[in-house]
Structure 1
Amino acid sequence: MKIAVACSLALSLIAGAALAQSPDDAYRLGSDSEPHDGVPRGEVVGPLTLASEVYPGTTRHYWVYVPAQYDPDEPACLMVFQDGHAFLGPEGNYRIPTVFDNLIYRREMPVTLGVFINPGHTADQPEATDADWGDRTTNRRVEYNALDDTYSRLIVEELLPALKRDYAISDDPECRAISGASSGAICAFTVAWHRPDQFRKVISTIGSYVNIMGGHVYPDLVREAEPRPIRIFLQDGMNDNRGVRRGGRYDPQWDWFAQNLKMAEALEEKGYDVSYVWGIGTHSNKHGGAIMPEMLRWLWRDHPREDDPAVRGPLVPKEAEESASAGTDTDERP
């Protein structure tokens, strides 16, 4: 979905948001983010605790979503979400377990374990929550915004072995995705950037490619380096933080929307498999949550779809098949 389509989408939403209290009110969750009768529901295990030697003295909670279709004899795909608490909740902006239930059932994405991991904290710091993501109270700023490979080592050397002790996970990097919002988004990209041998799919919402810890240089790094085999979907809003600093001074290195535009341009120039949508939202998760099902479809679009209703459920819900046989068109999703 390239820039002309993205701009058209943003402009079309302006009229719908005219009477709203904020630009973010233009976005609503769709059917794919709601539970449906007849769709098998996966299990969420946790919270579990991961201690770290990469970040000494820290621990962090994580949860594992296990789809109903998971078979321990068949290695599953894997998708890791930073700021896990924000993507997990059934009443939140993303509701990933419910979205996974629906898309896996429809075979619009493969059987995928979802892992929701929080930033680390020391013994005297609180666990991150929806009310406080932990920028000032946990190790989040350092873990997520640094451009080195330290956090990718936590994921690859500490999280993955812990997961593999309990679950069958594919070793194919094409079967592994990673995602996050804001600082969690730049973090997800950094993991794939350093370890494309482990993760090759990224979803980035309201990504902080700004100068929190030098992240504004990423567009230049992308242009200067040999392309990595990474597929990435970027989302941001034109009313995201726009780089106005203290005293009203504009600093382009702190303009979230401009930096996301630069990332998309650099990735396209280097021939990456990239898609992006620019909306009218602020630094909010409402837009990203509303389009998450479509981003996931795009991310996993070329994954094989086994034609086995006993394992995955029918390609078309029974009621839709009956409507089609009666000559009625339907495009409803469960």
Structure 2
Amino acid sequence: MADPLLASHAEPSTVTIQRDDSLFSVPLKRTVHLDIVLPPGYATSGVTYPVLYLNDGQDLARLRMENVLDSLYEKKAIQPFVLVAIHAGDRIQEYGTAAQADYMHRGSKAGLYTDFVLTELLPYIKNHYRISTDPAKSAFAGFSLGGLSAFDIVFHHPDRFSRAGVFSGSFWWRSKSTEDGYRDETDRIMHDLVRKGVYSPNLKFWFETGTDDETSDRNNNGVIDSIDDTLDLISELVRKGYRRDENGQPHDIRYVEIVGGQHNQKTWSQIMPDFLTWAFPKHN
């Protein structure tokens, strides 16, 4: 029979979630609430861990993230990592592309949010948790507008991150309205930023869309915009020099399209294991 005293001091076999409300952001002018998800064994291991920064961190429960992680760790399907879940503030203004707001001036604080991530969040996490600052061990992910934000940050800062995860990304983000003569070829902001950007050999990208993400089909080609916009962005990355997975072989870009997948946390939770085993494979 197991010694109950020893059992009470045993290292937990599940993840530990800590609420951290200590970080006040100067550019954002608010306290940024964080949920820090520590892997099993963190307290006594003494090792430094890879890290995943996640936008819309307030949705951990709706994503069933604790259950997803516990299952993956039990199966030994991923390497242990620290998850930094960043609670959103004014997400319509703070998420977007740092270079410019969209045609309705949404994303006006995206540059400030990027500044927060680079100059405040990363140093804070490094000082308070045992995480690696090696870009090869740092990933950023998000959902919808948060996915657009995560991609923008990773693409433009390969010195800090190596992997981006985008669930149902808002790549429709555009500089003109349809009434003002919007064109796919020139007016999608992130696509244009990729065209103007540089190739970074260390970057890798994971994208997910669902066939029921939305119903909009602005060019009437029978494919919903979220899929079109994501595939067009992937094409821009390929032209830039990144390689898409092919014939079962992993390269720089993985794209997952879910039949019946919707624009919600239930779908994103279901595909989360695919992203996490891609971002933090056990053999690394």
Q: The TM-score by the shorter chain falls in which range?
A: 0.7 to 0.9
Q: Does 1:80 align with 2:70?
A: no
Match of 1:216 in 2: 188
Question: What SS does the aligned partner of 1:40 have?
Answer: coil
Q: Which runs of 5+ in 2 are unaligned?
A: 1-10, 100-110, 177-186, 243-251
**Letter of the structure 2 residue corresponding to residue 77 of structure 1:** P
- TM, length-normalised to structure 1: 0.64
Q: Does 1:160 align with 2:122?
A: yes
Q: Equivalent residues in 2 for 1:1-334 (5 A)?
A: 40-55=13-28, 57-70=29-42, 71=44, 73-86=46-59, 88-89=60-61, 92=62, 94-120=63-89, 139-148=90-99, 149-211=111-173, 216-228=188-200, 229-243=202-216, 255-272=225-242, 273-279=252-258, 280-301=260-281, 303-304=283-284
**Letter of the structure 1 residue corresponding to residue 257 of structure 2:** W
Report if the CA contact (8 A) 2:174-2:189 is conserved: no
Could you say if the C-alpha distance between residues 113 and 208 of structure 1 is closer, same or farther in structure 2, counting changes exceeding 3 Å?
same
Question: What SS does the aligned partner of 2:257 have?
Answer: strand
Provide the C-alpha distance between the structure 2 equivalents of 1:168 and 1:51, rounded to a whole number of angstroms.
20
Matched residue pairs, number? 240
C-alpha displacement at 1:95, in angstroms?
2.0
Report if the CA contact (8 A) 1:205-1:285 is conserved: no
Could you say if the C-alpha distance between residues 234 and 188 of structure 1 is closer, same or farther in structure 2, counting changes exceeding 3 Å?
same
CA displacement, residues 148-195 of structure 1 (integer Å, 9 cap, x when unaligned): 343222112111222223211112111111111000101111110121
Provide the C-alpha distance between the structure 1 equivalents of 2:47 and 2:155, rounded to a whole number of angstroms.
28
Question: What SS does the aligned partner of 1:165 have?
Answer: helix
Provide the C-alpha distance between the structure 2 equivalents of 1:222 and 1:242, rounded to a whole number of angstroms.
26
Question: What SS does the aligned partner of 1:63 have?
Answer: strand
Provide the C-alpha distance between the structure 1 equivalents of 2:195 and 2:133, rounded to a whole number of angstroms.
29
Report if the CA contact (8 A) 2:173-2:190 is conserved: no
Q: Identity of counterpart residues, as a percentage?
A: 28
C-alpha displacement at 1:72, in angstroms?
5.8
Report if the CA contact (8 A) 2:34-2:57 is conserved: yes
**Letter of the structure 1 residue corresponding to residue 230 of structure 2:** N
Provide the C-alpha distance between the structure 1 equivalents of 2:120 and 2:52, rounded to a whole number of angstroms.
16
Report if the CA contact (8 A) 2:126-2:133 is conserved: no
Provide the C-alpha distance between the structure 2 equivalents of 1:141 and 1:213, rounded to a whole number of angstroms.
15
Provide the C-alpha distance between the structure 2 equivalents of 1:235 and 1:198, rounded to a whole number of angstroms.
23
Provide the C-alpha distance between the structure 2 equivalents of 1:168 and 1:114, rounded to a whole number of angstroms.
11
C-alpha displacement at 1:74, in angstroms?
1.4
Could you say if the C-alpha distance between residues 76 and 158 of structure 1 is closer, same or farther in structure 2, counting changes exceeding 3 Å?
same
C-alpha displacement at 1:108, in angstroms?
2.6
Report if the CA contact (8 A) 2:36-2:84 is conserved: yes
CA displacement, residues 290-323 of structure 1 (integer Å, 9 cap, x when unaligned): 111022112223752xxxxxxxxxxxxxxxxxxx
Match of 1:124 in 2: none
C-alpha displacement at 1:43, in angstroms?
1.0
Provide the C-alpha distance between the structure 2 equivalents of 1:60 and 1:282, rounded to a whole number of angstroms.
28
Report if the CA contact (8 A) 1:232-1:299 is conserved: no
- TM, length-normalised to structure 2: 0.74
Could you say if the C-alpha distance between residues 209 and 65 of structure 1 is closer, same or farther in structure 2, counting changes exceeding 3 Å?
same
Runs of 4+ with deviation above 4 angstroms:
212-215
Q: Which runs of 5+ in 1 are unaligned?
A: 1-37, 121-138, 305-334
Provide the C-alpha distance between the structure 2 equivalents of 1:171 and 1:54, rounded to a whole number of angstroms.
22
C-alpha displacement at 1:241, in angstroms?
2.9
